[in-house]
Chain A
């Protein structure tokens, strides 16, 4: 850890933010692609994607409540 800046914590924030902020956004977008496909496989894939997003949100809430 630098005296002025906790680089390790910053790195963790950046990685977690990218995974949750850009990764889950991408997964949600894939869900919309699946829904628009109009096929069963597409809808099933969309369901899985939405479950991943919901799990991410629940994890976020859990983290917040643990503070």
Chain B
């Protein structure tokens, strides 16, 4: 296999690995509240989400064969930049998964690509204004919008159903919550699996494997859908725990209002061309569900930790992306890319082993939020 071939294979494998971590990380967005309220058993919830993510990946195939569209000059994007950008996104996804912090996979990927582009092609290749208007400002608006919608929704739910017997109320909202969480899962599969399809298609075009006007190869669709749904099924229990138990104690009506708010904001923002991060919307909805119920407690320490993570997503992923590009370029050729890939794989394995010392899984994800976790 020639140098270009090796690079192409490594980029495709890295893109599918990123897709996998995207699934692991974002299971929480759709299912954390359903698991926390007991609307679905943990394994059933992640299984349902995995199936819907898989189906969602096939629903819409208008994939843009670009990455970080409009934020970096397309001419500056080479296969090595894409690879380094993916490594930056992967590293941030895994680190935030380890600490159980909901964080946007899209922003991590954009950060990685921006970092790699900065060092590969210079600051002029990065469009700073677009970065602020397309990523940073929406990052502030996403949770705020969701908080407003979920607070109002939760308030209305409790006021309207205050005289409804607990049995009907609980059963009704449980069913409603499963429905709205399913919509979030479906939307996630449609939006996020396409990012990977776009990256792989771009790599195949750059590598001369397919023509620029060719559609997405079927195997790319199947591989991306399988990868994201496998990650979803394994369940990012650490993130699920933070979103379902850490931010606030959620009851079934709150869970229903939170998931409905998330689905509504995600669908609306996508339709009106004002894309907001699914993760930030879902986290905002959970906070809103806490605010909308009288006397419910929102753990602002956990929310603040999440906010800080969102602020440093871009620079942190950019730093790793830049380091990955510099290392791959410094060693040179396919050996450079392979070396960075192997080192990244080893570090990821090490983080996984570290996580086994205090595992979070389907058995303990709903345990009471501890004082230790409060102070972490």
A residues neighboring B (CB under 8 Å): 3-6, 9-10, 12-14, 16-22, 24-26, 28-33, 35-36, 57, 60-61, 63-65, 67
Contacts and interface: CB of A to CB of B under 8 A. Distances in A.
B194 to A, nearest CB: 10
Contacts of A31: 172
B54 to A, nearest CB: 16
Interface of B: 59-60, 62, 129, 132-133, 137, 141, 145-146, 148-150, 152-153, 156-157, 160-161, 163-165, 168-169, 172-173, 176, 179, 183, 186-187, 190, 256-257, 260-265, 267-274, 276
Contact of A24 (B146, B173, B186, B260): B260
Tell me what chain B mostly uses at the interface: helix, strand, loop, or mixed. helix
A29 B149 contact: no
Given A4-B133, A5-B133, A14-B148, A21 B157 contact: no
Going nearest first, the 6 A-B pairs with the smallest beta carbon separation are: A21-B264, A20-B264, A16-B268, A29-B160, A21-B149, A21-B261
A28 B271 contact: no
Contact of B168 (A3, A12, A16, A36): A36
Given A28-B176, A64-B190, A21 B271 contact: no
Given A21-B263, A57-B183, A61-B183, 19 more contacts: A9-B273, A12-B272, A16-B272, A18-B148, A19-B264, A20-B267, A20-B268, A22-B153, A22-B264, A24-B260, A24-B264, A26-B160, A28-B176, A28-B260, A33-B160, A60-B264, A60-B267, A63-B267, A63-B270
Contact of A26 (B59, B156, B261): B156
A33 B163 contact: yes
Contact of A33 (B149, B164, B261): B164
Contacts of A25: 153, 156-157, 256-257, 260-261
Given A17-B264, A17-B268, A20-B267, A60 B183 contact: yes
17 contacts: A3-B133, A13-B269, A17-B145, A17-B149, A20-B263, A24-B264, A25-B261, A30-B160, A31-B172, A32-B168, A33-B164, A35-B168, A36-B163, A36-B164, A60-B264, A64-B186, A67-B190
